[in-house]
Structure 1
């Protein structure tokens, strides 16, 4: 359910922008917010502010909803949530070998 929640919110954020760029900005801004909650690094904050300026206030607020969906998804099932998202959003690049391997397959291969 959390993947669908993320996708629903994600698709409403800056629909005119490149989807990879929006996802990349989300990942960077989420990491910056979590990091700066403890470390307060001005360079990290500057990068966050540079990225958030690309979005309307409403879209920027919705980005926090994406982080909530990721957090809820990881609490629900501690797996490769972001990998599942990349494949669901069709943001993986087959030419770079970016494929999501389901946990059960990864586990089986590790056991071999």
Structure 2
């Protein structure tokens, strides 16, 4: 079953009442908040208020569509990790509405991951993990490609891969955060301008909070924040 096409059908069924680009944005933020509020108590109150504000725009029958689409995304990621939200963006032709924005195909990102794979493996062998920075994360396809490449080499990327990612587009932040979370990655996704080093919000995946909050990260002197990342002498791999 093509889950992306099925999800696109559901989005398009709401096109005339809400506008498909608005439904897509709302879907991303609702799912991101749902995941975050299950683990990040510091952000809970503010994000819950935002959740209620968004969901109040939809009637009961429309609200039921959102968990259905999340379930389809989960099934797709379980079958084969990919940037399904980026593919959905393209399927819905939202690039006509969003600044001419396009998402990199997995085939291109897989090649990039293979080219940098040996550096990642070397760091894993030396330190037990590798920290990867993606300054323009989009839907997260380059990180997902590296996730696949490491797994193909016999590593568990949920244990050996740590991600710091940024994007100036809030929707892209939500896209990557959702997919990284559902894949069990240890990641922090920051909303802000990477070039200006101006950041507004941080989204920590469950894998980050549970695995690195007070355990392995401190034991291995791993990086805790973006500012630490800039000052640390820890070697890191940056994917462009």
Q: What is the TM-score when the length of structure 1 is the normalising length?
A: 0.86
2: distance between equivalents of 1:96 and 1:9?
24
Where do 1:2-13 residues align within 5 Å? 2-13=3-14
Shift in Å, 1:3: 0.6
Which 5+ residue runs of structure 1 have no aligned equivalent?
none
Q: CA RMSD in A?
A: 2.2
**Higher-Rg member (1/2):** 2
15-24 vs 80-89, which deviates more? 15-24
Kindly indicate whether the alpha-carbon contact (under 8 Å) linking 2:87 and 2:103 is maintained by their aligned counterparts in 1. yes
1: distance between equivalents of 2:98 and 2:26?
22
Shift in Å, 1:82: 0.8
Tell me: CA distance 1:57–1:94, structure 2 relative to 1, closer, same or farther (3 Å): closer
Higher strand share: 2
Q: 1:32 is matched with which residue?
A: 33
Q: What is the TM-score when the length of structure 2 is the normalising length?
A: 0.43
Q: Name the SS of the counterpart of 1:54 in structure 2.
A: coil
2: distance between equivalents of 1:88 and 1:36?
29
Structure 1 outlier segments of 4+, above 4 Å: none
2:56 to 24, 44, 53: 53
Tell me: CA distance 1:103–1:14, structure 2 relative to 1, closer, same or farther (3 Å): closer
Which 5+ residue runs of structure 2 have no aligned equivalent?
117-240
Q: 2:20 is matched with which residue?
A: 19
Higher helix share: 1
* Count of matched residue pairs: 112
Shift in Å, 1:99: 1.2
Q: 1:98 is matched with which residue?
A: 101
Shift in Å, 1:51: 0.1
2: distance between equivalents of 1:95 and 1:44?
24
